[in-house]
A and B are shown apart, each in its own frame.
Chain A
Amino acid sequence: MHLDLDQLDRDGALRETAAGVPGETRKDFLLGTLAGGGAALAALVLAEPGKAASKTDVDILNYALTLEYLQAAFYTEAERRGALRTPLAKETTRVLGAVERAHVRALRDALGAAAVAKPFFDFGGVTEDEDAFIKTAVAFEDLGTAAYKGQAYRIDSPALLAAAISIHSVEARHAAWIRYLAGAPPASAAFDEPKSMPEVRKLVASTGFIAQKPSTQSKERPRFTG
């Protein structure tokens, strides 16, 4: 299935917000995160004792975790910066942020030592501008919903599939909520399309929101005043 940015970013929100983002420190981070490959299997904790998770399931959970990190960081930063003007936007951000952080905790707990690390995010001021924030949130929630849908058929474990569907429907509620806030139709289509990992990766990469973590450690000999 071919999808281009027009289809993924129906409101143009991601491209709009990415346009003003300086990109110097945001190179290629996604290559190592959204792929989710190579994670150890042993640590995954499931509700089915004695059953090891498949590598596919671990990869999918890490992929989901990376997207949840992104959403959680986005709402959390918006709430912390306190730049949203309207009470409804503030309340929506508060509730959605708490839920996305719960998703992060659930996925990280399940993956244990196999969990990917939280990336460093640079939203470039989008969380401090209400209009840009809401447009981006619409795109993120639509994307999150489509990303879960795109993996559901690949999940091996029935218990994990049930968990993914549980999160997927919550993401869909978020999408409707934030679309309502944006003045967009909450549910305009009869059927939603899934998004594949490469499609999601390409779109997230285009925002520049995942950046390289600043290097703040050194082996340089100190020259402090002693």
Chain B
Amino acid sequence: MVGLVGVVGVVLSLVARGEDGEAAGRSVSLAAAIPATDPLGPPPRHGLAVPRPRALPTRADAVALWAPVLHSVALRETPSASGRVVGRVTVSTPERTENIVLVIGATRARGGLWIPIRAAGAVGWAPRTALGGYEAVATRLLVDTRAFTATLRRTDGVVFRAPIGVGTSAAPTPTGSFFVRNVLTRYRSAFYGPVAFGTSARSTLTDWPAGGFVGIHGTNRPELIPGRISHGCIRMRNEDILALARLMPVGTPVEIM
């Protein structure tokens, strides 16, 4: 090996070794082992456009998570099986869709995993085993009952805004934090228009059939919008609710103010 140092046109000695790592005493030159030109040509360029890895958005409210309810279960005030019961979540909705809940905080590990959730009519802790997988949504609907507007935001800004009708003073639209839990289509009802979203918000009309839940839907009286015209639901012109249906997935948080 020493005698090769300094020779023009570098040649390295490669020592073949036996299975046990001992030198086998056979050496070859680099030129012989690795040709200077490749008779097969260069390797192919790969066939995918390569995007840069992107970090998740850092804003806490950029994405909301929802989960289906797998088992009917009591909601607890604290993350514990002995916590005070503050409500109950069921597996299905009055509209015969699978029920979902919004995940609103961090998991606690205490006698199993507990998840803080927002359900229809209650906020509390549920055991992780009662819920299915998480799905993320990047949309958020803001309903302004004084300006009579509904605004859908995504992480990149406002993507939809439309005038709305809201509840009358006798049956006001409830304010607070809610979410979209299902979407109804292809039913026959001019009153509700072509699409109706079900929300977790409950009307003040507690004796209303099917629980008195507040919907976001179309109308057969578009001339009344904007205004205080409903029993608590949020009404939109049919072209607006159709546009919203293309943009707003189930699980979207709804802030009504």
Contact = CB atoms under 8 A, between A and B. Distances in A.
Contacts of B95: 218, 220, 222-223
A177 interface: no
B70 A25 contact: yes
Given A80-B65, A159-B45, A219-B187, A225 B50 contact: no
Contact of B54 (A77, A102, A159): A102
Contacts of B56: 76, 79-80, 94, 97-98
Given A109-B49, A225-B205, A220 B184 contact: yes
B51 A226 contact: no
B52 interface: yes
Contacts of A216: 97-98, 100, 181-183, 250
Interface string A55-91: 0000000000000000000001101111100000000
A219 B192 CA distance: 13
A47 B97 contact: no
B230 A101 contact: no
B113 A224 contact: no
Contact of B43 (A109, A162, A214, A219): A162
Given A81-B106, A224-B192, A225-B232, A219 B50 contact: no
B203 interface: yes
A124 interface: yes
Contact of A129 (B70, B97, B109, B192): B109
Given A47-B48, A162-B47, A217 B54 contact: no
A77 B107 CA distance: 12
B228 interface: no
A220 B96 contact: yes
Contact of A83 (B51, B107, B171, B192): B107
B135 interface: yes
Contacts of A4: none
Interface in A169-226: 211, 214-226
Contacts, number: 185
B246 to A, nearest CB: 14
A122 B100 CA distance: 14
Contacts of B98: 214-216
A22 B44 CA distance: 46
Contacts of B215: 222, 224-226
B26 interface: no
Given A106-B50, A159-B46, A222-B198, A217 B185 contact: yes
A225 B230 contact: yes
Interface string B144-155: 000000000000
Contacts of B106: 81-83
B178 interface: no
Contact of A46 (B47, B70, B109, B217): B47
A213 to B, nearest CB: 8
Most chain A CB within a 10 A radius of its CB, from B45, B48, B171, B214: B48
Nearest to B112: A125
B48 A226 contact: no
A120 B50 CA distance: 25
Contacts of B55: 94, 98
Nearest to A162: B46
Q: What are the 4 A-B residue pairs with the smallest beta carbon separation, nearest first?
A: A224-B215, A122-B133, A159-B47, A98-B53
21 contacts: A22-B71, A24-B70, A47-B47, A48-B47, A80-B63, A80-B136, A81-B107, A109-B48, A124-B133, A128-B128, A129-B113, A159-B45, A162-B45, A211-B132, A214-B97, A214-B100, A215-B98, A220-B97, A220-B184, A220-B187, A224-B213
Given A80-B134, A217-B183, 8 more contacts: A77-B134, A106-B51, A110-B47, A124-B129, A211-B132, A214-B68, A216-B98, A225-B208
